Every structure is written in structure tokens, then in C-alpha cells.
Amino acid sequence: MFKQDYTLELSRGKINEKYDSLFPETLPNLFFIKGTNTFGKSKFMDMIAAGMYGHHRDDMPESMKGRILDLLDPNKHKLTFRFELENKSKSVKLLIEKKNLNSDTIHITEIINGESHNIGESIKTKYGLIYDIPHNPVSRIMQLSKRIEEEQIFMNNKITRLKGALDRELIDISQSLDPQVLIKKKEAIHELAEDLSQEEKKKDYLKNMVDGLEKLICLRLSKKYSAQLAEKKRERDQIAGRKTKIISCNTYGNKGIQRENGFITNNIPQLSEEISKLHGNMNQLFPKDKTLDLFIKINIYDNSAFKLPENLIDMINYSVKKLESKETELKQDTKNEYVDMCENVLRVLENYENTPFELLGKPIKEWISSMKKIVYQNQGLKNSKELIKASRDTISLINAKITSINMSLSELKRLKAKYPTAGIDTDSLMQDSLQRQIIKFDDDIKELEIKVKINGGKYETYGKPTVENVENILKEDYHNFAVKTDPNELENDLKYYTKQVEDAKISIVKKGELLKYLKEQYETMKTKKEHPHKKYEERISELYRKTQDLEKRFIGRYYEWIKLITHVAPKKPSNISEKQKEYYELMSKYLAKVVNEFDYPGHTMILEKIDFFEQKLIGTDGKWIYFSDAGSGANQVAFLRGRINTAMQRKQKMVIILDEVAMMGEPILESIFELLRDCYNQDLLLLGILLKPTDDMYLYYRDLLKKDSDWEKVAKRENNGETTKLIGAK
Amino acid sequence: MKNNEENLIKEFFEKLIKDKDEKRIVSVLIDCENDEDAITKLLEEH
């Protein structure tokens, strides 16, 4: 029978977490617990082990002792417990109590056959305790190698921190009083001030160069623009002259020509009309074919008084053409020769009116008579004389018009000779043409004015430069530039020196700031005391460098190398350096030393080294075992069985707690159960507990004294993290 | 870490590092809790 009760407060910053037992108050002597890690199973086991003075037992693994001592530390945990342990025959009962929250004192009362004795620490010799995690040595090795990794990181952090501290120390020393440094700083300040002064002089010299070059360029440009200005002025004057001419031409020439031309153009159609009218009259008086026959018959061609053209109609047509070519022949026909001809023909015909001559088989008289009749009928004229008179009037009119036109033609010719470029144009066309020229002229002027203004602007800024003042500014350097007459060439020099000035300015600012900083440092240092570690400055610098080297190694290669080992299936690198080989050798030996020994049936192997790449545990006797064989459950149970059997042979009543047995398979566990039952039946087992973790939300226990017993749910972890007891604990 | 393991890892680091000063730095860092003590210890021996 096992009776239990406990309260535990875990310090979690400002708030403590409180726990009490989740299990039934009375439990069998042998049972199995399973559940997730947060139900406090291991803490419960540690309490029982503490009650058995596990932390003072030599055969207790160090890790277990550490855990028990930690649990009993009142600064970390506020713990009370009370356990009652009784063997099968009830001949022996142990009452174990921790009553005081603030003390690690444990009271142990042994009750044998009704007699009580306070046995205290002697419990550890009178009663056995096997409290172990039947761990897999391989997983232990993996844990240890992980621990090396953590230790390396931890060490690296320490190194980094130390490096920082050394660095701060060096800064403090550098800022503390150092008479020699003070002198050096003073010298440096002096040198820098001198340097700065030189730099200022250089800058002034360069600025002077820039000033001189700008004026020289201005001078060169002035010359260039003056020439251009003169040229432009000349062009402008030319354009102005042309403009006046064009205005005159447009005002007088164009208008006069237009006027004369208009007069001629308007009168020509009237003239043509009059001629056409004359032509009609003549046509009526002398129909072409008949008149021609008549002339042939009367043989008037031979008349020497005048000479007729081939026929009158052609003559009239000829006259019209003459009129149309108004500027040439018409004005030469001053005698109206052709008109007179027409009149004469009529007079001739009348002379033959009373003759016996026949015309076209009919007497002329009769022909004239019938012709007159036609004239009367068609023209409404009384006789051909009236028609002739009308024709003469028309001819006079024609003559008058020809005279006017001739005069107009003369005026036209005069105007054209005076204004050869003038022509017949409208006013708007003339204006447009003129305006275009004026716009072009204005553009030229504007362009010229801008150039002049630009140069004028420079004059305003720098004052009108002269060769003398440029020479004065540039002094001995003047001759280097005087040979360059092209302003563009000088512009390149100007750019170069301008850049030099800018560079000098920046340099002056930087040096000025540095000088200010040095002066401040100097002044500050003067007020300080000498640093106590001043004399170690060199040593601290050296240590600082060493920490840098160490840091590189710990965070670099050592980190990479250990990572390789902690890999699930590490492979030996194909190119392994001597240092890396050495590292693995050391680690292998270190791990072997920590694990120290490995038990397997009938033998304990003292480990010499552990080969990760070969996956071997190697003993000092040269024997070795593969990781895979070392981790088997059979080996572990054999070891445990050995320990329990030994205790049983000594007939020692005992408490056996086996934590983390999850790695053991069912057949192996069954064999352990049997062994423990056997121990119980021999009245030697005061308490036997086995534990294994699960991912379940429940905490279970199982009575191992009853065969085929089931797991019972003891508590449940709710979704909100709270724990609910499922069986009355007290 | 238990004392034994602590000593062993110290030994491991000391064997890993050959340079005398570096060895000393690591050793002092294992022993000292704060940097001031570590620096003092490192300088004392100089």
C-alpha cells in the first residue's frame, strides 16, 4: 500500500503556480503512470526519491541528484509532502514527511511491528532506492553532443561580451589622460591647423585663378560678340534699308501698276465690244463670199488708190488682234488705217450702183438694193450710210479708247522701270509679304540683342574686364592662358579650377571638423585622470584581438563542425582538415569520458572514445559496439535486472522508480513487471513505479499488481490548459 | 551541468585551443561570472 499527498508551488516570476497530487490518496505498491510531460509526473517521482534521501546516495545518477536538490531548494520551490509506504505483509511501514515550506528537512519514521523510530538519513543505508532513467546511451551521447553545441554557443556569447568589454576598456583608456598622447594630440592639432592654413591659401589661390579665368573668358567672349554685334548691326541696317524700299515699292509702284493695269483691263473688254460691234456692221454691209466675188469681178484689186486686204472680214479680225496685243502694235496704228479702209470700200460700192455690171448674176444696183433692204430689215438703219456713220462713231470711240489705253500703257512701263520688283498685288498680299520680312528681321534683332545682353550681363557681374586687370589677377599664370584665344578652351581650364576650388572647400570643412574634434578631445583629455589599466593597454589590445579570433572560430568552424555531428546521420566529410580531425578526436574522447561506461549483459565497457562517423562506442580494451546495438532495449533491461536482482539478493526492502520507459517494448516491460511483482511477493518492494510519456490529453495509472488491469484516467488537460481531476484525490 | 561534466567540457575547450592566451581567456570565462572579473583576472597574470 502506498499513501500519498503533496503540495507544490513553483516560482514563475511574480505569480507562483500551485500543484497538488492528482492521484488517489491510496495506491498499490506497484503501478504504471503515463501522460504528457506537463502533469508533474517526474516532480512526483523526485519527491518520493527525496523522501528516500536519493540526493545523498552514492549510487544515484548525478542528474537525478541534481533534480532532487533543485526540488528541495526552498528558494525555488515551496514543497510539502507526506508518504506512507508499506510492504506486502505490512511488517514494515515508512512515514516520510516534509512539513516546512521554507526548509529542506525531511522527517522519516520507520514503523516495524508497531514500533516507531525516527531514522532520518540512515534510510539510505537501510532501504534501497533504484531511481533511474533506463536511458539509451546513444541518445545520451546525442544529448551530450547537443550540449557541446550549446556550450560552444554559450562560450561564444561570453567571448563576444568580453570582446565588447575589452573594447570599451580600450575606449575608456583612449579617453583617459595620457600625457604622451596629450603631447601627440597637441602636435597633431598644430599640424592640422598648419595644413588647414595651407589649404585655405591654396583655395584662395584657386579662387583667384577662377576669377581671372572668368574675366579672361569674358574678355574673349566680349571680342567675339563685338564682332558678331557689328555684323548683325550691318545686317540689320541692310534689312532696314530693304524694308524702306519695300514700303515705297508697295506704296507707289504696286498701287500705280495696279491702277494702270486695272484701267487697261477694264477698257479692253469695252474696246473688244466696240470692235465686235464694228465687225457686225461690216459683216452686214459686206457678206464675205459675195463681196469677194464682187471685188474680183470689178477687179478692184488693181485700183492703185488703196490696197485692200484679202477680204474685209479678215481685215476686221486682224484689227481686233492688233488691239489685243495692246502694248505693242495697237498704239502704232495711229492713222486708223484699217477703219478708213472699210469706209472706202462702201464708197466704192456706191460708185458702182448705177453701172450695168452684174454681181453674182444680178446687177450691182439690184444687189445693193436688196442688200439695203436686208440692212433695213435687220438693222433698222435707213441706209448703209447710217450704218457706216454708226461704224465711224464706233471707230472714233475705238480710237479714243486706244489712245487712253496707250497712255496707261506708257505709265505702266514707267512704273515697272522704276520698281522692277513691283507687280500687280493686292494690299493684303503686299502686307503679308512685308510682314514676313519684318518678322524675320525682328527675330534676327532679338537674337542679336540676347547675345549682346548675355555678354553685357557678364560685364555687369565682373566689371568690364581688360587685359591689364586680367593680367593683374592671374599674374605669372596669365601667360599660360594668354595663348588660348578660343573661349571654349579656356572653359575647360575654368571647369578644372572650379572643381579644384570645390574640392579644397570640402577638404577644408573636413579638416576643420577634425581639428575641432581633436581640440575637443584634447580639452576633454586634459581634464581627465589616468586610467588604472592604462599600463595594460597593449595587453588589452592583444586580448581584444584574441577574442576576435576566438569568436570567429566559435561562431564559425566549431559551430559548423559540431552541427555536422549532431546531424541525424552524420557523414564524414571527404575533405577533412587536420584541425577538424583534431576537433572530432577531442570531442570523441570528451563524450567517452562523460558517458564513462556502458553496460551490456555480462559486461561493462569502459569507453575510450565515441566515433560518430563509424557510429561506434569504443572501449578502453579495444572492443567496440555499434550505436544501433547499444541502444537496444534488451541491453537496458539486462542492466536493470542486474541491479534489482543484486538488491533482492541482499534482502533489502526497496523503492524502485523507473522513469521514461517508453523506449522499451511490451515484452521487455512485461519482464520488468514480472521482476517487480516477484520483488513485491518476496515482501521486498515498498513501492514500484514506472513512467512513460504520451501525447494524450489524459493522465493515467495502471495497477500492476493486478494482472490484465486497465489504464484508469486520473486527470484531463483541458483545451484552455487547465487540469481537471477525474478521481477524488483525497 | 554537473561539476564533472563542467570540468570535462573545460578540459575539452582547453585542449581544443592551442594558443596560450586564448586558452586562458576560455578558462577565465568558464570560471568568472562577469566580464570585469574576467578582465581583472586576465590582467593580473600579465
pLDDT tens for residues A590-629? 888 877 777 665 577 888 988 888 888 899 988 888 877 7
Taking alpha carbons only, the member of B22, B11, B7, B17 closest to residue A162 is: B22
Residue A378: predicted pLDDT: 44
Count of C-beta atoms within a 10 Å radius of residue A672:
22
Using the beta-carbon criterion (under 8 Å), do A590 and B35 form an inter-chain contact? no
Q: Is residue A341 over pLDDT 50? A: no
Q: Kindly list the residues from chain A whose CB atom is less than 8 angstroms away from the CB atom of residue B16.
A: 558, 582-583, 586
Shortest distance, CA B18 to any CA of chain A (angstroms):
11
B13 CB near a chain A CB, below 8 Å?
Answer: yes
- The DSSP element (H or E) to which A597 belongs, if any, is strand A597-600
Q: CA A642 to CA A637: how far, in whole Å?
A: 8
- The DSSP element (H or E) to which A610 belongs, if any, is strand A603-611
- Provide the strand spans (E) within A87-127: 92-98, 107-112, 115-118
For residue A249, what pLDDT band results from cuts at 50, 70 and 90? confident
Q: CA B21 to CA A598: how far, in whole Å?
A: 37
Average pLDDT in the A643-664 region? 81
For residue A723, what pLDDT band results from cuts at 50, 70 and 90? confident
**Residue-range domain boundaries for chain A:** 2-136+650-725, 143-176+538-630, 259-421, 479-523
Among B8, B19, B30, beta carbon nearest to A593:
B8
Q: Give buried/exposed letters for A15-41 (b at 16+ CB in 10 A, else e).
A: eeeebebbbbeebbbbbbbbbeeebbb
Residue A31: predicted pLDDT: 95
Using the beta-carbon criterion (under 8 Å), do A162 and B2 form an inter-chain contact? no
**Nine cell digits for residue A109:** 519514521
Residue A302: predicted pLDDT: 41
**Nine cell digits for residue A352:** 458702182
Q: CA A7 to CA A97: how far, in whole Å?
A: 12
Q: Is residue A213 over pLDDT 50? A: yes
Q: CA A579 to CA A559: how far, in whole Å?
A: 14
Side chain identity at residue A134, one-letter code = P
Side-chain half-sphere of A457: how many Cα atoms within 13 Å?
Answer: 6
- Separation of CA A269 from chain center: 84
SS (H, E, C) A402-437: HHHHHHHHHHHHHHHHHCCCCCCCCHHHHHHHHHHH
Residue A83: predicted pLDDT: 96
User: What SS3 state is found at A619?
Assistant: strand
A237 CB near a chain B CB, below 8 Å?
Answer: no
Q: Kindly list the residues from chain A whose CB atom is less than 8 angstroms away from the CB atom of residue B9.
A: 147-148, 151, 590
Using the beta-carbon criterion (under 8 Å), do A159 and B4 form an inter-chain contact? no
Q: Is residue A707 over pLDDT 50? A: yes
Q: Give buried/exposed letters for A60-81 (b at 16+ CB in 10 A, else e).
A: beeebbebbbebbeeeebbbbb
Residue A342: predicted pLDDT: 42
Average pLDDT in the A283-292 region? 57
DSSP letter (8 states) at residue A567: S
User: What SS3 state is found at A176?
Assistant: coil
B22 CB near a chain A CB, below 8 Å?
Answer: yes
Shortest distance, CA A114 to any CA of chain B (angstroms):
42
Between strands A128-132 and A654-658, the pairing is parallel
Mutate: best of B3, B16, B23, B24, partner A, most A CBs <10 A: B16
Q: How far apart, in Å, do the first and last CA atoms of chain A sit?
A: 15
Using the beta-carbon criterion (under 8 Å), do B39 and A540 form an inter-chain contact? yes
Average pLDDT in the A481-492 region? 87
Residue A231: predicted pLDDT: 73
User: Which of A24-33, A239-248, A659-668 is predicted with the least confidence, judged by mean pLDDT?
Assistant: A239-248
Residues 6+ apart with CB under 8 A from A181: A174, A525
Residues A138-168 pLDDT 10s: 666 777 788 788 888 889 999 999 999 999 9
Query: pTM score, two decimals?
Result: 0.39
Residue A87: predicted pLDDT: 94
- The DSSP element (H or E) to which A724 belongs, if any, is strand A723-725
Using the beta-carbon criterion (under 8 Å), do B1 and A533 form an inter-chain contact? no
Share of chain A above pLDDT 70, in %: 71
Judge if ipTM > 0.90.
Answer: yes
Q: Kindly list the residues from chain B whose CB atom is less than 8 angstroms away from the CB atom of residue A158.
A: 29
Using the beta-carbon criterion (under 8 Å), do A543 and B5 form an inter-chain contact? no
Q: Kindly list the residues from chain B whose CB atom is less than 8 angstroms away from the CB atom of residue A540.
A: 39, 43
Q: Which residues pair with A93 in a beta bridge?
A: A86, A111
B40 CB near a chain A CB, below 8 Å?
Answer: no
B1 CB near a chain A CB, below 8 Å?
Answer: yes
Q: How far apart, in Å, do the first and last CA atoms of chain B sit?
A: 31
Shortest distance, CA B13 to any CA of chain A (angstroms):
9
Is the Cβ–Cβ distance between A162 and B25 less than 8 Å?
yes
Q: Is residue A503 over pLDDT 80? A: yes
Among B22, B36, B38, beta carbon nearest to A549:
B22
Shortest distance, CA A656 to any CA of chain B (angstroms):
24
Q: CA A315 to CA A331: how far, in whole Å?
A: 17
Residues 6+ apart with CB under 8 A from A670: none
For residue A303, what pLDDT band results from cuts at 50, 70 and 90? very low
Mean pLDDT value across chain A: 78
Residue A289: predicted pLDDT: 54
Shortest distance, CA A162 to any CA of chain B (angstroms):
6
Between chain A and chain B, the number of residue pairs with CB atoms below 8 A apart is 72
Question: Which burial class, exposed, middle or buried, applies to A154 when counting CB atoms under 10 A from its CB (0-12, 13-18, 19+)?
Answer: middle
Q: CA A615 to CA A632: how far, in whole Å?
A: 14
**Nine cell digits for residue A472:** 593683374
Chain B nearest-CA residue for A548 = B22
Q: Is residue A455 over pLDDT 90? A: no
Average pLDDT in the A435-453 region? 64
Q: Kindly list the residues from chain B whose CB atom is less than 8 angstroms away from the CB atom of residue A536.
A: 43, 46
Torsion angle of the four alpha carbons A649, A652, A658, A664, in this order, in degrees rounded to the nearest 10: 20
Q: Kindly list the residues from chain A whose CB atom is less than 8 angstroms away from the CB atom of residue B36.
A: 165
Q: Of the segments A337-346, A509-518, A577-586, which one has the largest average pLDDT value?
A: A509-518
Write out the DSSP string of A275-320. HHHHHHHHHHHS-HHHHHHHHHHHTGGG-SS----S-HHHHHHHHH
Residue A678: predicted pLDDT: 92
Count of C-beta atoms within a 10 Å radius of residue B45:
8
Write out the DSSP string of A12-30. ETTEEEEEE--S-SEE-SE
Using the beta-carbon criterion (under 8 Å), do B29 and A549 form an inter-chain contact? no
Residues A371-420 pLDDT 10s: 555 444 444 444 556 666 776 777 778 778 778 877 888 888 888 888 77
Q: Is residue A563 over pLDDT 70? A: yes
For residue A310, what pLDDT band results from cuts at 50, 70 and 90? very low
Q: Kindly list the residues from chain A whose CB atom is less than 8 angstroms away from the CB atom of residue B2.
A: 62-63, 66
For residue A298, what pLDDT band results from cuts at 50, 70 and 90? very low
**Residue-range domain boundaries for chain B:** 3-44
Using the beta-carbon criterion (under 8 Å), do A166 and B39 form an inter-chain contact? yes
Q: Is residue A536 over pLDDT 80? A: yes
Shortest distance, CA B37 to any CA of chain A (angstroms):
10
A522 CB near a chain B CB, below 8 Å?
Answer: no
B11 CB near a chain A CB, below 8 Å?
Answer: yes
DSSP letter (8 states) at residue A353: T
Taking alpha carbons only, the member of A675, A700, A669, A704 closest to residue A689 is: A704
Chain B nearest-CA residue for A550 = B22
- Separation of CA A719 from chain center: 48
A69 CB near a chain B CB, below 8 Å?
Answer: no
A533 CB near a chain B CB, below 8 Å?
Answer: yes
For residue B25, what pLDDT band results from cuts at 50, 70 and 90? very high
Residue A180: predicted pLDDT: 84
- The DSSP element (H or E) to which A657 belongs, if any, is strand A654-658
* Residues counted in chain A: 730
Using the beta-carbon criterion (under 8 Å), do A165 and B42 form an inter-chain contact? no
Among B11, B22, B46, beta carbon nearest to A536:
B46
Using the beta-carbon criterion (under 8 Å), do A590 and B39 form an inter-chain contact? no
Q: Is residue A510 over pLDDT 60? A: yes
Shortest distance, CA A635 to any CA of chain B (angstroms):
25
Shortest distance, CA B27 to any CA of chain A (angstroms):
10
Residues A12-58 pLDDT 10s: 666 677 888 889 999 999 999 998 877 888 889 999 999 999 999 88
Is the Cβ–Cβ distance between A51 and A106 less than 8 Å?
yes
More confident residue, A510 or A634: A510
Residues A57-95 pLDDT 10s: 887 877 788 889 989 988 888 899 999 999 999 999 999
Share of chain A above pLDDT 90, in %: 27
- Separation of CA A35 from chain center: 56
DSSP letter (8 states) at residue A533: T
Residue A730: predicted pLDDT: 41
Is the Cβ–Cβ distance between A630 and A598 less than 8 Å?
yes
A579 CB near a chain B CB, below 8 Å?
Answer: no
Shortest distance, CA A634 to any CA of chain B (angstroms):
28
Using the beta-carbon criterion (under 8 Å), do A594 and B39 form an inter-chain contact? no
Residue A199: predicted pLDDT: 94
Q: Is residue A352 over pLDDT 90? A: no
Q: Is residue A550 over pLDDT 50? A: yes
Q: Kindly list the residues from chain B whose CB atom is less than 8 angstroms away from the CB atom of residue A62.
A: 2, 4
Q: Is residue A1 over pLDDT 80? A: yes
Residues A104-127 pLDDT 10s: 899 999 999 888 999 989 998 899
Q: Kindly list the residues from chain B whose CB atom is less than 8 angstroms away from the CB atom of residue A594.
A: 4-5, 8
**Nine cell digits for residue A308:** 485692200
Residues 6+ apart with CB under 8 A from A545: none
Using the beta-carbon criterion (under 8 Å), do A165 and B17 form an inter-chain contact? no
Q: CA A531 to CA A7: how far, in whole Å?
A: 56
Among B19, B35, B46, beta carbon nearest to A162:
B35
Q: Kindly list the residues from chain A whose CB atom is less than 8 angstroms away from the CB atom of residue B8.
A: 590, 593-594
Q: CA A342 to CA A312: how far, in whole Å?
A: 7
B14 CB near a chain A CB, below 8 Å?
Answer: no
